[in-house]
Structure 1
């Protein structure tokens, strides 16, 4: 296809990845008028507000497709609302088995692998990272946030980075999609790029080759200063990507193999990939960049960058997954580690990992999670746990109601349209109508 200049509309690597990296909508399902009538006996597939919103966006050609998946309690069956086609101009219909780039929705999966290792005694929640990765023993920290990387702006870390901090974005590590100063430039210069978007160049961002392994990622990351003192501030970070290296060191085998052996395989998530097999191209959606209300295919399915093996398995943003598969992950969480008769994770791993495990010392003021909690890679609000992805996906599980819910579409930046952020509120509206009806 011809090269399209996205710079006028502000589409950059930072903008397309930032903003969709959480479950927008803030409150998730907190404050909804839940009641016993909404528990296991409510198996209605009627979600009128969700369906109407999807129909509006698809009919107006803002998005090619959207699938909302829902499941109740321990029923393995999930149902969907929505539709559309895998790409604009395609006749192939999107459904629960279509494949979506879920980006940061990978983080809770990685987080639950870590929680299982903690429950098995192979890691400690408050264990220093340097016990596993000694290169992080003597970290330097910027005195001025996002300031210069010079000796006069650096000081020693006052406390060690811990596993808890990696899981909750309180380690002080940066993120090239968040930082705006020299740390961002250093991440790019060193190839600390834990994610991928497109084969085509992104205007304003030089093409960088990521470091070639998780080991190299971790060793290189240890040479870059932290942006905050460990444990003092919530700041979205590469912590879950670094956790991938921790996991493979502890287990003595590749991180992606550990994830498969521990969660993906036992949970029956056979449509979840770091590399999409050629045989599955026919299920893969196209990802679009949105500039001034216009959609441009930045990652067409037939030539997707996800068809190639990534530089390393990105524990923070690497999975391509079907809505059906991610619902199975949510089912494992809702089942306190079980799906059907299969025990995937320990009950303790799920209970702790989906609870608020933020360090008491962490300041949340002005952050995405102010007034809320954070678990192992996902937001915690009341009895709900979830997170979202940079290409406008979102998912959560609500332990109070027994609801599993996911939203899947493909466009960047995720805040180009409001529908990702509206999803929890639309779900709340439909549930309230059921309850009051």
Structure 2
């Protein structure tokens, strides 16, 4: 059996080995080291709700609107959101008739009605009696009378939009039959995404009292991820030494955060995560928090001793006597209220969660020699590396590498399956982890 001291060190190293593709010098150093619920935007998060919706729709769907939105623009945008969220073509989404065709100017009432249909609220709207409809519309200062200018169907749509929060009464009161602003269009599009379960996905915020329990519960509910054929392929890559490790994630936990304000932090100890939340809170830093289950896989050498298996750490022996180890881990994604608060994250990690000596004190529990956190947008003092991804259904395989090693990783995957699609992109990572890629395992 492997000794308890070595086991602690091995567990702390698992995510690093499983995430990266190392050049030969770094691989040798790494092996030597081993034995030793979506809610609407909250105003306190920094940006106004309208700015949040605008930012989200632009980033997630690439939709650009300005001024008064035309019928054609809104219809196309609505079809794009529905198509992406439903995995159908935009042509098929457009054919669902959310918005009637025509050349006349698009009104607020029409836009809201179309959004109600796209958000799958049509049947709920049809349950509204005339009295219930009229009562709801009063909140927006809209008078409804049978046989009036406003049809019952459209009145029901507006009423259900008010009651469900898809549109605010003030927006309907101000807009009534007027033109649709880009701000309102972005909100309606974002709400359609939210009702379909495709808006920002997060447990809560650093500042809320219940975040610690939510985080612990999410960890206990997660388990080692298995991904069928996709995992078989990357396990073969491990067996053939084409890669040294990978991590496996479930895309349904993707937070859909604003990359400009987001940092993702990886670890394997849930107490470390809880203490990290407490650290941020004690420093007056707030952020949305998403827990993303992750499984890391790497080669466990037979000379390290017989591995200890648990529900959270499993091994499978391969032909050469070594093992593939699978470790339950997590990523925490933080969406800060501003880029400035995002920049405050690294100094705290380097001071309180970066191990620099064997018996260091004053650190969070389970602090690593090489903390692992990264950003999709540029940050000062963060080096650039490459993420090499494979996707199949809801599952994503990631293998990080130095930029000049990425082509070898892609070639390795292609060697196993020449039809496999490998996505690569560069991103910004903390300096200690980058040093690890270069062979500095301390």
TM-score by length of 2: 0.24
The structure whose Rg is larger is 2
Larger helix fraction of residues: 2
